[in-house]
Structure 1
Amino acid sequence: MSRNYAGLSRERIIIEALHIIAGRGLGGLSMRRLGDALEVEAMAIYHHFPLGKEQLFNAIAAYVTSPGPATTSLDGPEEAEPAAEDAEPAGAAEPGPWDARITAWAEAYRARLLEYSGALSLLAHRAPRTPNSLATRALVQGALGEAGLTGPDVERAADALYSYCLGAVVHQVRHQQEEDAPDAAEADARFRFGLRALLAGLV
């Protein structure tokens, strides 16, 4: 097995871990299996995640919920890896009416959760806080402020939106194997219907 770890990074480890989770489930992820997939010894992974699997799980949760540097404050102090050039808060940063911006963000957030749905169970006990996720939330709150919300209602509304997106994805994934499960187009339509209803109720 190769001992050349020059190309090993936190992001590469996380992405490979997500591939394993997608194929084997969360329980199928082990440091040894991850090392085999990366063609390195398992101990090389601990160079990037010295606290072990729980630290890796925190970083996976951060990556899934927030495109950008694969770091999280739950890991403790450490140097963040550079973000990709296109890693920026999605949707809510675009120009346009506040509701259109929030809709764009919500659809992008949902798409990312669906892409990495095998890791959804990690999010039940982890609330990753990365510079990118905090910036994205600030943009969502800014859009809600434009809608006329003030004070604690802005934070409450943001919580409601995040909860709706995550809950909608969990519901879709949980039932997608059922015979009468909606197809992708109908699932999209149901998500947008619920989002419109939530936005209307917020203001």
Structure 2
Amino acid sequence: MGKAGTKGVSRADREGQIVDVAVEEFGERGYAGVSVAAVARRAGISKPLIYSYFDSKDGLYLACVHRVGDLLVQAVAAARSRSGTTGHALDTLAAVFTAVEGCRHAWSVLYDPALPPAGEMRDAVNHYRGRLAAMGAAGATGLLTRAGHDDPLDHQLLNHVWQYSVTAVMRWWSEHPDQSAAEMTARCARLLTALGAD
């Protein structure tokens, strides 16, 4: 990803470029490991410019949460063509891989354990994580209902397994940057088939 720069760039575009760089920084190093100065250096701009747009490190992180959260929610919501089938899980993973292929660490912005336990950032993270979890739960319920399983604890357990599995897959991918979104989709398809889920 290139530097943000400032010359001849509109404020909205400049803000977007800064957020792109910040998503990479926060995603790779976590909230606690990033300074505004580091983002400014990586973006090739001044630290005061970041403060003039986002007020604080928290404001910058919040902008990153909204960028990543909206991207992931839209991607998962669009992957519903095979809802209620085992193919839906693969479609969802493929959509997530494609959405964040340009920044593998984006997922970590929403799932950073170092975030403060309360406040505006935590509320925003919880909002997006809640929306993603709700879509995952709906997919799990659709799959089990279609198979004739109506035990609510089965539904709860499958959703739990799904949530943790997706996070594990995304963390594995961030550790294997040589894998493309298409390769990850093919890999997951093989694993799902081997597990008898497809």
Q: What is the TM-score when the length of structure 2 is the normalising length?
A: 0.58
**Alpha-carbon contact 2:105-2:174 (below 8 Å) kept:** no
1:46 aligns with 2:51: yes
Cα 1:157–1:60 change in 2 (3 A) is farther
SS at match of 2:71: coil
**Alpha-carbon contact 1:35-1:42 (below 8 Å) kept:** yes
**Alpha-carbon contact 1:89-1:135 (below 8 Å) kept:** no
Counterpart in the other structure of 2:119 = none
Distance, in Å, in 1 between the alignment partners of 2:166 and 2:18 is 26
Distance, in Å, in 2 between the alignment partners of 1:10 and 1:158 is 36
**Alpha-carbon contact 2:104-2:174 (below 8 Å) kept:** yes
1:93 aligns with 2:90: no
Q: Which amino acid aligns with 2:92?
A: W
Cα 1:176–1:49 change in 2 (3 A) is closer
Unpaired runs of 5+ in structure 1?
70-86
Alignment of 1:67-106 (within 5 A): 67=71, 87=74, 89-94=76-81, 96-106=83-93
CA deviations over 1:67-91 (Å, ceiling 9, x no partner): 179xxxxxxxxxxxxxxxxx46434
Report the CA distance between 1:21 and its aligned residue.
7.0
Q: Which amino acid aligns with 1:154?
A: H
Identify which of structures 1 and 2 has the higher relative contact order when contacts are C-alpha pairs closer than 8 Å and 6+ apart. 2
Q: Which amino acid aligns with 2:37?
A: R
Distance, in Å, in 1 between the alignment partners of 2:39 and 2:63 is 15
Q: What is the TM-score when the length of structure 1 is the normalising length?
A: 0.57
1:60 aligns with 2:60: no
Q: Which amino acid aligns with 2:60?
A: L
**Alpha-carbon contact 1:65-1:113 (below 8 Å) kept:** no
* Alignment length (residue pairs): 176
Report the CA distance between 1:104 and its aligned residue.
0.9
Greater fraction helix:
2
**Alpha-carbon contact 2:137-2:159 (below 8 Å) kept:** yes
Cα 1:156–1:10 change in 2 (3 A) is farther
Counterpart in the other structure of 1:168 = 169
Counterpart in the other structure of 1:138 = 134
Counterpart in the other structure of 1:26 = 29
Cα 1:175–1:191 change in 2 (3 A) is same
**Alpha-carbon contact 2:21-2:43 (below 8 Å) kept:** yes
**RMSD across aligned C-alpha pairs, in angstroms?**
4.5
1:13 aligns with 2:9: no
CA deviations over 1:33-69 (Å, ceiling 9, x no partner): 53466565423423554342x5534553554455179
Counterpart in the other structure of 1:129 = 126
Unpaired runs of 5+ in structure 2?
116-121
Distance, in Å, in 1 between the alignment partners of 2:180 and 2:6 is 44
